[in-house]
């Protein structure tokens, strides 16, 4: 670790926090329908789309969201299957096989963007642009719309309706994601990211060989991939590919983009509920987790692999297996902490080749429930679930009925919150345990020993957490993994959202009671500390046995000089 490395981390993270302020303000304006100069245009768009904007209760909001996502899933599946006969296929790719198409369609609709395929050898330009990238926008808009609905539940007393899903999703897409992605897309192109419809070129190299260089419309897709915390790369190696991460500056911009909206939505929440300090407290917890995780990854990776150091490798550059020179260890660590903390899943360093502890931290960040800071929208509503559990725990300690923002938190909300929080460990540990006990699962592993267990655990963690990053050695394109990971992604997204919206509906209906002398303030350091503790204990503790068998066992094997 170097001082320069820390300066890089501080600068990039600092810019992200500062930039989140105006983004949070703009999102609040959209959540509250204060569209200013866009109001007339907005009315026209909604009318043309047949959206009346009438308020929906939680069930109708949920139903609209589910129907929209189901239709998106079918459309994307068809595009992938039919890409052989669709236009803009200069590479002449055949249709994507059924299991892989199912997995990929689920993956992009649920904002996971797990890649069982490699873009440059499987996806036509049309599939990338009109299939995958469109769901990058829409799955992000879905997440933010859901966060709006949950925020509104806390904003007013005795509310029946949570807003209109169609209006929310349309506005978020048109007024936030599209302009943001176009701006960032041009910035990336200026940094060297291609944006062309050419299939590629063949170069006669200096060394006397030939090199086929694939090209494509990468710039816009790269921008929304980060802004929408999607993470599915245009190329197989994602943001490590020199066309998807041409420079340290480009990787820094990607880091900022992938935490911009999750950070901003905290501040949006504060504004919508009428007390900005509430949002700042949530943001402080998120930034705290990101910082500690970055410190851990940076220390582990910059220290290098002791087995390799003993074989004559110089320690200065740290562990460089699976990393490219231009980014450096500091930005690789910050990228990794934010991409896994934020449910993005893009990578600028190959996690499978990280040191055991360096690889455990991103795994654990996802397992915490994708709330620090979590995906766009999903991070905020996940965080609010933990906030409810925190006031409940605090209420138990002093024997009072807990309340959050003037809303009484009662048995129904806590039961639903625990149901939501239990979805992730049940799916992750359940599926991973089965896969590690059957031949079809084990045959997908690349590594022997404890690292193999980590590969499988990571796959289901990434899928259920809707993250999308991977320990890439795993052979994921098998019928068993395509189907079970697809199911894990759907459960992680939808089985989680249903209890969350039910909580929102029930909270919305409650009156807002004024603060009393016994009310626990939910904006100070005391609450932030409590929240962090609840996230760690309720979110993370159940994974410790699995982590002990995987990365922790591997760490001690490595120190003892054992290889597999």
Partner 1 sequence: MLRPLLSLLLGSTLLLGVATPLAMTAVAERVMPGRAEGSLVRQDGRVIGSALIGQDFPGDEWFHSRPSATSARPYDASSSAASQQGPTSAALLAAVRERTAGGHHVPADAATASGSGLDPHISPENARLQVVRVAAARRLPAPQIAALVDRFVEGRELGLLGEPRVNVLRLNLALRDLR
Taking the least distance from each CB to partner 1, the nearer of 17 and 253 is 253
User: Cα–Cα distance between 131 and 532 in angstroms, integer?
Assistant: 38
**Do β-strands 403-404 and 210-214 pair in parallel, antiparallel, or remain unpaired?**
unpaired
Q: How far is the CB of 544 from partner 1 (least distance, A)?
A: 21
Q: How far is the CB of 515 from partner 1 (least distance, A)?
A: 40
> How many C-beta atoms surround the C-beta of residue 517 within 10 A?
4
Q: Look at residue 448 and give its three-state secondary structure.
A: coil
Partners of 213 in beta bridges = 201
Taking the least distance from each CB to partner 1, the nearer of 531 and 558 is 558
Taking the least distance from each CB to partner 1, the nearer of 332 and 435 is 332
Q: How far is the CB of 114 from partner 1 (least distance, A)?
A: 15
Question: Exposed, middle or buried, 1 (CB in 10 Å: 0-12/13-18/19+)?
Answer: middle
User: Cα–Cα distance between 427 and 264 in angstroms, integer?
Assistant: 29
- What is the Cα 94 distance to its own chain's centre? 30
Q: How far is the CB of 537 from partner 1 (least distance, A)?
A: 29
CB 290 within 8 A of CB 10: no
Q: How far is the CB of 131 from partner 1 (least distance, A)?
A: 7
Taking the least distance from each CB to partner 1, the nearer of 312 and 399 is 312
Taking the least distance from each CB to partner 1, the nearer of 201 and 544 is 201
User: Cα–Cα distance between 6 and 9 in angstroms, integer?
Assistant: 5
Q: How far is the CB of 52 from partner 1 (least distance, A)?
A: 8
Q: How far is the CB of 121 from partner 1 (least distance, A)?
A: 5
In order, the DSSP letters of 234-268 are SSTTGGGSTTTS-SHHHHHHHHHHHHHHHHHHHHH
Q: Look at residue 287 and give its three-state secondary structure.
A: helix
Q: How far is the CB of 166 from partner 1 (least distance, A)?
A: 4
Containing H/E element for 170? helix 165-172
DSSP annotation of 131 reads: I
CB 319 within 8 A of CB 352: no
Taking the least distance from each CB to partner 1, the nearer of 194 and 492 is 194
Angle between helices 378-398 and 496-509 (to 10 degrees): 60
Print burial letters for 363-383: b (CB count within 10 Å at least 16), e (below 16).
bbbbbbbbbbbbbbbbbbbbb
Q: Look at residue 110 and give its three-state secondary structure.
A: coil
CA angle 123/463/164 to nearest 5° reads: 90
Taking the least distance from each CB to partner 1, the nearer of 254 and 278 is 254
User: Cα–Cα distance between 184 and 178 in angstroms, integer?
Assistant: 10
Taking the least distance from each CB to partner 1, the nearer of 243 and 381 is 243
Q: How far is the CB of 279 from partner 1 (least distance, A)?
A: 28
Taking the least distance from each CB to partner 1, the nearer of 92 and 525 is 92
Q: How far is the CB of 56 from partner 1 (least distance, A)?
A: 10
Taking the least distance from each CB to partner 1, the nearer of 216 and 373 is 216
Q: Look at residue 160 and give its three-state secondary structure.
A: coil
């Amino acid at each position: 670790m170097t001082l320069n490395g820390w300066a890089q981390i501080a600068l990039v993270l600092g810019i992200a926090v500062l930039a989140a302020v105006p983004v949070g303000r703009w999102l609040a304006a959209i959540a509250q329908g204060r569209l200013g100069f866009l109001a007339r245009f907005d009315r026209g768009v909604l009318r043309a789309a047949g959206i009346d904007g009438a308020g929906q209760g939680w069930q109708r909001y949920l139903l609209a969201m589910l129907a929209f996502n189901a239709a998106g899933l079918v459309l994307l599946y068809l595009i992938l299957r039919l890409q052989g006969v669709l236009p803009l296929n200069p590479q002449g790719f055949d249709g994507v096989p059924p299991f892989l198409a199912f997995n990929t369609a689920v993956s992009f609709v649920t904002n996971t963007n797990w890649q069982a395929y490699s873009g440059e050898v499987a996806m036509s330009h049309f599939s990338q642009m009109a299939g995958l990238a469109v769901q990058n926008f829409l799955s992000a808009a879905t997440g933010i719309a859901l966060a709006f609905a949950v925020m509104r539940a806390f904003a007013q007393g005795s509310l029946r309706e949570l807003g209109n899903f169609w209006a929310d999703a349309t506005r978020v897409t048109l007024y936030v994601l599209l302009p943001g992605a176009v701006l960032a897309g041009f910035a990336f192109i200026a940094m060297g990211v291609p944006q062309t419809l050419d299939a590629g070129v063949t170069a006669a190299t200096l060394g006397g060989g030939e090199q086929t260089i694939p090209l494509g419309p990468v710039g816009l897709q790269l921008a929304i991939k980060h802004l929408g915390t999607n993470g599915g790369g245009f190329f197989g190696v994602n943001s490590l590919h020199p066309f998807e991460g041409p420079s340290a500056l480009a990787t820094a911009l990607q880091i900022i983009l992938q935490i911009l909206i999750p950070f901003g939505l905290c501040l949006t929440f504060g504004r919508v509920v009428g007390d900005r300090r509430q949002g700042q407290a949530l943001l402080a917890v998120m930034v705290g987790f990101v910082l500690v995780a970055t410190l851990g990854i940076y220390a582990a990776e910059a220290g290098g692999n002791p087995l390799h150091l003993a074989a004559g490798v110089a320690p200065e550059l740290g562990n460089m297996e699976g990393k490219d020179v231009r980014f450096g260890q500091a930005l690789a660590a910050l990228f990794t902490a934010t991409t896994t903390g934020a449910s993005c899943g893009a990578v600028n360093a190959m996690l499978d080749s990280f040191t055991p502890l360096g690889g455990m931290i991103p795994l654990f960040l996802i397992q915490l429930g994708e709330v620090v800071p979590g995906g766009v929208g999903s991070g905020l509503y996940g965080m609010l679930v933990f906030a409810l559990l925190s006031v409940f725990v605090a209420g138990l300690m002093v024997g009072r009925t807990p309340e959050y923002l003037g809303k009484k938190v009662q048995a129904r909300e806590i039961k639903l919150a625990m149901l939501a929080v239990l979805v992730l460990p049940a799916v992750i540990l359940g599926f991973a345990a089965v896969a590690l006990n059957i031949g079809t699962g084990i045959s997908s592993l690349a590594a022997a020993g404890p690292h193999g267990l980590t590969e499988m655990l990571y796959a289901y963690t990434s899928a259920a957490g809707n993250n999308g990053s991977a320990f890439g050695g795993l052979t994921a394109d098998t019928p068993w993994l395509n189907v079970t990971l697809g199911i894990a992604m759907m459960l992680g997204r939808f089985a989680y959202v249903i209890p969350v919206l039910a909580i929102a509906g029930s909270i919305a209906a409650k009156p807002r009671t004024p603060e009393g002398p016994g009310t626990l303030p939910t904006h100070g350091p005391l609450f932030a500390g409590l929240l962090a503790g609840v996230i760690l204990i309720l979110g993370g503790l159940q994974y410790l046995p699995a982590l002990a068998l995987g990365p922790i066992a591997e760490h001690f094997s490595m120190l003892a000089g054992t290889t597999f």
